[in-house]
Amino acid sequence: MHYLGLDLGQRHDNSAIAVVERVEYRSAYGGTERGPAIVRYLERIPLGTSYPEVVAHVRELVTSPLLRGRCAVVVDATGVGLPVVEMLRDAQLGCELSAVSLTSGDHESSRQQNGLTWYNVPKKDVFGELLVLLERHDLRIPTKLKETGSLVRELSDIRLTRTETGTARLGADQSGQHDDLAMALALALWKGRKTTPPVFGNFRLV
């Protein structure tokens, strides 16, 4: 199964896409186990690209032979809201679509709205699966991908900080760095965790 994470940028921020494959296999005990997460695609979309162009590009990706009928799309809709999410829905992607609004709270909630599932999720929870996989060496990032270097730099800049009110904040934004690729990857992994069994595997750059 493949999971496409889409971080929608705004005027001064790039939109970014990450596609992750979660490999499942039959265990010796007859159950299903999950192999490492493999990053299959990374893209930072140029500034100035319109949302309709981004939506059309996402549709092109998910209807490709590799992803058609075996992927799920999750989009960070925090800054852009319902209109862009509805554009994705109306594009008839042919796969499950989920929208995420990032919060600074401690609890996740969800609701059905206009034919899709809309989640309110603490940012630290969205990044949680990514951090766990990095800690366990269960994430494989191919060195041949064009944006691998940028992603690795973003991952090295991720910080867990607390505001004056004690609220936990997680991301690269506190150090003045971009985290669009890391966010797209975190979204894909977060969605994969919600729909697949526990992690098994090994980490490496491949």
Give the model confidence (pLDDT) of 159-183 as tens digits. Answer: 655 555 444 445 554 444 568 999 9
pLDDT of residue 167: 44
pLDDT of residue 198: 43
pLDDT of residue 147: 92
Q: What domains appear along the chain, each with residue ranges and CATH number?
A: 2-203 (3.30.420.240)
Average pLDDT over residues 113-134: 85
- Is pLDDT at 70 greater than 80 in this prediction? yes
Query: How far is it, in rounded angstroms, from Cα 55 to Cα 71?
Result: 16
27 band by pLDDT with thresholds 50, 70 and 90:
low
pLDDT of residue 149: 92
Mean pLDDT of the chain: 81
Query: What's the pTM value of the predicted model, to 2 decimals?
Result: 0.82
- Is pLDDT at 35 greater than 90 in this prediction? no
CA 164 to chain centre: 28
Q: What percent of the chain has pLDDT over 70?
A: 79
Average pLDDT over residues 116-132: 87
